[in-house]
């Protein structure tokens, strides 16, 4: 009986100690082994240069030319008139107004949003294109849904508005070095400069990348844009907390994160803010003889200059922000992406979708190394990364894909219930285009004319997937 009492005592003591041990580990890691907190020296040099002067262009010593693009929906103008707008103005000053062209595109803004856009323009002394217009939706292609409706793919719409923000590049008279695309996120202007000009630098201090993304958060711990992000082998993400990527394949991307690299190798990403090598987006600077020689099928092939696109198969979706990286990589490297695609994620630079979350990120990043073990276990238990039957397809490969096809129009008739059209998955032989690793079986459509209490888009139920 005394032995049983002693066993009970020690068990209770161990259980009671667990919270204190966890607290100790969190504080110890946050103080002595903080994650992505000790910035590389050249980042700190740039930060000091930005903070110790008020000279326009102080963050851009080589006077690199930067095209900044944003396609936003700013209800009542609170984004442009608030922190986002002020941060963009400060970013322009850091890069040098003489080095910057800012393009902001808004679709269907109300009067307050138009006023905020005009106010932003009055605060800027760089070249600008601030467009507020009604986007003619009839110009965007439609697909047929199983109930016979013609609907607009969500990604088709997003591709169009992003491309409209890039339109000034078509008539630009200067050659840009960098293209920076910014979403409606909270960000630090100095970190944006570091993303542009400090990531993966060579011995001469010049950046070497095709594209580099920040890391975006929907709350203080949770990674957001999983749809656009793929690791170096094209796998989807793991659970959405550090180190974000699953332990699949060689797990090179996950290992880069754990090694605290500023240039984490990926196949695609977005992170709310992405910098590109600009030459691929401007016609005069792009070599027309690209390495990709495949013929187009359901999706458009990469072309010069690069623009956002969408997948045209009815029940296959891929983020436009993933496809743009796939097209860029194909143009830059062809098939040779096994070791390094030239696309990077920079976890030192972080963004968020509200000010409160953004304010917490400098603290919540510190103990995140502790999450890696449980993140890997939970990801495996959840079956992540999810299977993608097209992940290994390479541009130019002759492949057989299962594609949803409706029966010929004269043979269409209801399967069950009024308005349901007959169709099936059909094996189709075609030439693969870039970005097959980006996709998954789903269909998202825009809810045109949505009421205030409705979402702007919705998902259409999939037909029975192929075996």
Q: Where are the domains of the chain?
A: 1-33, 41-284+302-382
> What mean pLDDT comes out for the span 142-149?
89
The conformation of residue 258, written as its DSSP 8-state character, comes to H
User: In the predicted model, is pLDDT for residue 277 greater than 90?
Assistant: yes
Decide: 352 and 361 in contact? Cβ < 8 Å. Answer: yes
- Residue 295's pLDDT band (cuts 50, 70, 90): very low
Percent of the chain with pLDDT over 70: 91
Give percent above pLDDT 90 in the chain: 75
Bridge-based pairing state of the strands 66-72 and 178-182: parallel
Residue 289, pLDDT above cutoff 50: no
Phi, psi of 127 (to 5 degrees): -65, 135
CA of residue 134 relative to chain centroid, distance = 25
444-446/127-133 β-pairing: unpaired
- Confidence class for position 336, pLDDT limits 50, 70, 90: low
pLDDT band at 293 (very low <50, low <70, confident <90, very high): very low
Distances 94 to 131, 169, 172, 266, 430 between C-alpha atoms, Å: 24, 22, 22, 28, 48
pLDDT surpassing 90 at residue 466: no
The CATH homologous superfamily of the domain defined by 41-284+302-382: Spore Coat Polysaccharide Biosynthesis Protein SpsA; Chain A (3.90.550.10)
Residue 16 to residue 447: CA distance in whole angstroms = 52
Q: What is the DSSP letter of 271?
A: T
Q: What is the pLDDT of residue 300?
A: 46
Mean pLDDT of the chain: 90
**Count of residues in the chain:** 467
Q: Which residues pair with 404 in a beta bridge?
A: 425
Indicate the pTM of the whole model: 0.91
| 254 band by pLDDT with thresholds 50, 70 and 90 | very high
Q: Specify the 3-state DSSP secondary structure of 168.
A: helix
> Mapped to the 3 state alphabet, what secondary structure does 325-372 carry?
HHHHHHHHHCCCCCCCCCEEEEEEEEEECCHHHHHHHHHHCCCHHHHH
Range ranked top by mean pLDDT from 175-184, 294-303, 324-333: 175-184
* Per-residue pLDDT at 418: 44
pLDDT tens-place string over residues 409-459: 544 444 444 457 888 899 999 999 999 999 999 999 999 877 777 788 999
The beta-strand segments (E) located in 59-148 are 66-72, 100-107, 127-133, 142-144
């Amino acid at each position: 009986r005394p032995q049983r009492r002693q066993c009970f005592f020690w068990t209770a003591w161990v259980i009671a100690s667990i919270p204190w041990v966890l607290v100790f580990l969190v504080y110890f890691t946050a103080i002595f082994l903080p994650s992505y907190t000790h910035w590389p020296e050249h980042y700190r040099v740039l930060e000091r240069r930005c903070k110790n002067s008020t000279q326009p262009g102080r963050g851009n010593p080589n006077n690199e030319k930067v095209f900044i693009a944003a396609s936003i929906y700013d209800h009542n103008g609170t984004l442009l008139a608030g922190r986002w707008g002020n941060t963009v103005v400060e970013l322009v000053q850091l890069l040098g107004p003489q080095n910057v062209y800012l393009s902001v595109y808004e679709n269907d803004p109300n009067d307050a949003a138009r006023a905020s856009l005009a106010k932003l323009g009055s605060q800027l002394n760089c070249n600008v294109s601030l467009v507020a217009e009604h986007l003619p939706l009839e110009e965007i292609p439609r697909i047929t849904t199983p109930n016979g409706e013609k609907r607009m793919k969500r990604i088709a719409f997003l591709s169009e508005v992003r491309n409209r923000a890039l339109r000034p590049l078509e008539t630009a008279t200067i050659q840009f070095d960098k293209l920076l695309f910014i979403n409606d996120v909270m960000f630090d202007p100095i970190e944006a400069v570091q993303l542009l000009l400090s990531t993966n630098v060579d011995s001469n201090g010049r950046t070497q990348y095709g594209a580099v993304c920040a890391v975006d958060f929907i709350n203080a711990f949770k990674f957001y844009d999983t749809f656009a992000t793929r690791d170096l082998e094209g796998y989807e993400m793991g659970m959405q907390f550090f180190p974000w990527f699953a332990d699949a394949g060689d797990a090179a991307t996950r290992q880069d994160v754990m090694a605290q690299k500023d240039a984490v190798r990926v196949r695609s990403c977005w992170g709310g803010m992405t910098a590109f090598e600009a030459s691929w987006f401007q016609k005069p600077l792009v070599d027309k003889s690209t390495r990709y020689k495949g013929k187009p099928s359901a999706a458009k092939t990469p072309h010069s200059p690069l623009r956002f696109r969408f997948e045209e198969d009815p029940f296959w979706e891929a983020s436009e922000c993933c496809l743009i990286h796939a097209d860029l990589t194909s143009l830059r490297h062809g098939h040779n992406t096994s070791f390094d695609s030239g696309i990077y994620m920079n976890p030192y630079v972080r963004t968020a979708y509200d000010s409160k979350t953004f304010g917490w990120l400098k603290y919540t990043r510190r103990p995140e190394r502790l999450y890696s073990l449980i993140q890997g276990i939970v990801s495996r238990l959840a079956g992540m990364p999810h299977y993608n039957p097209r992940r290994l397809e390479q541009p130019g490969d002759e492949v057989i894909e299962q594609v949803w096809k409706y029966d010929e129009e004269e043979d269409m008739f209801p399967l069950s219930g009024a308005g349901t059209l007959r169709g099936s998955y059909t094996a189709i032989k075609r030439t693969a285009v870039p970005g097959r690793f980006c996709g998954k079986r789903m269909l998202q459509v825009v809810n045109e004319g949505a009421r205030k209490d409705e979402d702007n888009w919705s998902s259409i139920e999939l037909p029975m997937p192929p075996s």
